[in-house]
Amino acid sequence: MSAITPGMVCAHHHLYSSLARGMPGPLTTPTNFSEILRDIWWKLDAALDQEIIYWSAALGAAEALLSGTTSVIDHHESPFCIEGSLDVIADACEFVGVRHLLSYGITDRWSDNGALVQVSPSGSMTQAAKRGLEENKRYALTGRPAMVGVHAAFTCTDDTLEHAAALSEELGVGVHIHVAEAPEDANAGARLEEFARDNWLLVHAVHLDRYLPGVIAHNPRSNMNNSVGYARPSLRTNTIVLGTDGIGADMLEEFRLSFVRHRDDDRSATPDNSWKWLQNGNQFFPEALNDKVTWSYDHVDDPWKVAYTPGIRCVQVEMNGKKVVDNGLPVHFDIQEVRAKASEQAARLFERMS
Ligand SMILES: [Zn+2]
């Protein structure tokens, strides 16, 4: 019996989407995954500038910390504000005090004339993808923890995938990429097979038709929210980790959703698989094992009990021997101020999107 755990890890986040709640909805209701991307997320990411990115990341990081999540693997995209964007996110995470592993998701979906286009695998690499790749490289060479980000195979040419894989080899870091999230990207397995390595982070893998080396990030809430199907992570031989895909960073909640979705698919499922997936996140941040998170529930080390106890709150967080959350509030920054700044930037963002 214990009320204390190590620091939680969110293994796939989009801190840039923290301001998305309350944004203007699409003019028509999306009927498939491509329309969800085109009419919602690609409108949002195209409207980001550095100030919006900073406060969006600060809010997302603050909400992570207050949920006992001390480390975040982020996948960023801001196609009209590429250069320096990863430094802005790192600065925001460091202001809050959350560990970060960042990447810029390159894509060829924006043509050299700035138009959103359908990408043909045989096309050549766009200027935007080159600039995104350069941002990954520049940022990694600053020495902050980095991966090489790729949006997804279906929005990249083969040329771009090859360049991303080559940069990842050159830098000695993995590629962080969405893989077969929806039927639109179902041939990701075939296109990535020659490139994928054990240090890759493969996100979603819902419709992945073969084994690819790498760690798979399972995002149960996001998959349900986008109606893309169940990934059946327990049937994969890869190491599985849990992510939120940008919908907060409350990892105990993601664990509960992971379990109940598993149970929905398989009556005999136990919470042990999902608990293991949650703990596997620490492979990316071994330091978080030394963090002490105190919860509002004294059986937080028991997967069965946590699975059936919604609403467990993070009360206190200690990182590197120092208290950073006390009584559910941050010690080193003012959460109301972060919310106020984020709210100002949300208004600017919604204006730019309209
Ligand atoms: Zn994602």
Q: How far is the CA of 1 from the centre of ligand 1 (A)?
A: 35
Pairing mode, if any, of strands 4-5 and 292-295? antiparallel
Helix (H, G, I), strand (E, B) or coil at 3: coil
pLDDT reported for residue 25: 87
Mean pLDDT on 113-125: 94
Q: How far is the CA of 3 from the centre of ligand 1 (A)?
A: 31
Q: How far is the CA of 18 from the centre of ligand 1 (A)?
A: 13
Evaluated on CA atoms 176, 181, 184, 190, the torsion sign reads positive
Mean pLDDT on 122-128: 97
Mean pLDDT on 108-116: 93
Q: How far is the CA of 112 from the centre of ligand 1 (A)?
A: 24
| pLDDT of 24 over the 90 cut | no
Q: What angle do CA 228, 229, 230 make, to 5 degrees?
A: 135
Rounded to 5, what percent of the chain is helix, strand, coil? 45, 20, 40
pLDDT reported for residue 332: 97
Q: How far is the CA of 350 from the centre of ligand 1 (A)?
A: 21
Burial class (CB in 10 A: 0-12, 13-18, 19+), 286: exposed
Q: How far is the CA of 14 from the centre of ligand 1 (A)?
A: 6
DSSP string, 83-131: TTHHHHHHHHHHHHT-EEEEEE-B-S-B-TTS-B-PPPTTSPPPHHHHH
Task: List, in sequence order, every residue forming a beta bridge with 176; answer none if it has no partner.
Answer: 149, 201
Rounded to the nearest integer, the mean pLDDT of the chain is 97
| pLDDT of 354 over the 90 cut | no
pLDDT tens, residue by residue, 277-288: 999 999 999 999
pLDDT reported for residue 257: 98
Lowest mean pLDDT among 111-120, 136-145, 300-309: 111-120
Q: How far is the CA of 340 from the centre of ligand 1 (A)?
A: 26
Q: How far is the CA of 298 from the centre of ligand 1 (A)?
A: 33
Q: How far is the CA of 193 from the centre of ligand 1 (A)?
A: 20
Q: How far is the CA of 246 from the centre of ligand 1 (A)?
A: 7
Class of domain 4-353: alpha beta
Gyration radius from the chain CA atoms: 19
| pLDDT of 267 over the 90 cut | yes
Helix (H, G, I), strand (E, B) or coil at 192: helix
Q: How far is the CA of 252 from the centre of ligand 1 (A)?
A: 19
Q: How far is the CA of 322 from the centre of ligand 1 (A)?
A: 32
pLDDT reported for residue 1: 86
Distance CA 204, CA 243 (A): 9
DSSP 8-state assignment for residue 146: B
**What global pTM score does this model have?**
0.98
Q: How far is the CA of 204 from the centre of ligand 1 (A)?
A: 8
Distance CA 279, CA 36 (A): 31
Mean pLDDT on 33-47: 92
| pLDDT of 201 over the 90 cut | yes
Start-end of H helices in 202-354? 220-225, 251-265, 271-280, 303-307, 335-353
Mean pLDDT on 315-329: 97
Residue bearing tokens 């467990």: 312
Mean pLDDT on 28-43: 92
Q: How far is the CA of 9 from the centre of ligand 1 (A)?
A: 15
Q: How far is the CA of 245 from the centre of ligand 1 (A)?
A: 4
pLDDT tens, residue by residue, 53-62: 999 999 999 9
Q: How far is the CA of 323 from the centre of ligand 1 (A)?
A: 31
pLDDT tens, residue by residue, 148-197: 999 999 999 999 999 999 999 999 999 999 999 999 999 999 999 999 99
Q: How far is the CA of 6 from the centre of ligand 1 (A)?
A: 25
Q: How far is the CA of 152 from the centre of ligand 1 (A)?
A: 10
Mean pLDDT on 258-273: 98
